[in-house]
Structure 1
Amino acid sequence: MEMILQIIVFIITFSVMEFMAWFTHKYVMHGFLWKLHEDHHKKDHNSWFERNDTFFIFYAIVSISCFYTWSIGAFYLGLAIGLGILAYGLAYFIVHDIFIHQRFKLFRNINNKYAKAVRRAHKIHHKHVGKEKGECFGMLAIPWKYFKN
């Protein structure tokens, strides 16, 4: 029963991270921390790294803190939550940075309906290079209007 609870908490955490990614993007990245996110929309640098890459550090610290509190016996569900955050971060990195933005030249030939919809939604998001109109969708919750033939 303990293992089932851990798995359920892991799945819930992963799912909540989809909301957190959307919320953080809309209200933090396109809000008061726009200066860190701006270079993701306006390629005004020659570096492979972007100031925007610093956002992953926040979630990494939260995840590591969960692992640590679990490891010292202070937070029973810390492992499941930490792994849920880590798994979402890895999935986000693969979908957003590798698949969509091709920061590594992998997954270039994937062309199913879902992949096309993800690319299309993200392309529309990047049409707006300013702080305003930063419409964003989660990596799993792509609106149906982007599913075209």
Structure 2
Amino acid sequence: MEFMAWFTHKYVMHGFLWSLHKDHHHKDHDSWWERNDLFFIFYAVVSMTCIMTSSPDYFWIGKPIGFGILAYGIAYFIVHDIFIHQRFKFFRKANNKYAKAVRRAHKMHHKHLGKDKGENFGMLIVPLKYFK
């Protein structure tokens, strides 16, 4: 899932659907809701559809795909929305090396306000340079 998230973030969100993602990098509104949140809804629908249409006879892989997307969505919500961006005020005191590296890498990603010249498109796998 991390590779798929990286690929989608780099080539879809910072590509042809930048119009939905850009308010996550550059706040152009006063709302708690972001257009970027539509991606969360899209993947929730894909996950539910895969789980509900899964069948041992014709679409056995639906459940593993659906639950994989669900697990990554939960991780995204906890790590990205709660831990990194503090949309909800939990996990504010996490201060280990991995937590600091995740925050540093994401901060470097958000340093670029435009869709080009970005870096660190993943979330859970952090380049070693951010652990220093």
Question: What is the CA–CA distance in structure 2 between the aligned matches of 1:51 and 1:137, rounded to whole Å?
Answer: 18
Paired AA for residue 35 in structure 1? S
- In the superposition, the TM-score normalised over structure 1's length comes to 0.83
Question: What is the CA–CA distance in structure 2 between the aligned matches of 1:121 and 1:72, rounded to whole Å?
Answer: 41
Paired AA for residue 120 in structure 1? R
Q: Alpha-carbon deviations, 1:58-112, whole Å to 9, x = none?
A: 2222211211212695422322221111011110111000000000000000000
For residue 34 of structure 2, what is the aligned residue in structure 1?
50
Query: How many residues get paired?
Result: 132
Question: What is the CA–CA distance in structure 2 between the aligned matches of 1:46 and 1:102, rounded to whole Å?
Answer: 16
Gaps of 5+ in 1: 1-16
Calculate the aligned-residue CA RMSD, in Å. 1.4
Instruction: State which of 25, 28, 41 in structure 1 corresponds to 2:25.
Output: 41
**Which is greater in Rg?**
1
Report the Cα offset of residue 138 of structure 1. 1.9
Taking every aligned residue pair, what percent have the same amino acid on both sides?
77
Contact 1:63 1:82 in 2 (8 A): yes
Higher helix share: 1
Q: Alpha-carbon deviations, 1:119-143, whole Å to 9, x = none?
A: 0000011110011112124222100
Q: Which runs of 4+ in 1 moved over 6 A?
A: none
For residue 114 of structure 2, what is the aligned residue in structure 1?
130
Gaps of 5+ in 2: none
Contact 1:29 1:37 in 2 (8 A): yes
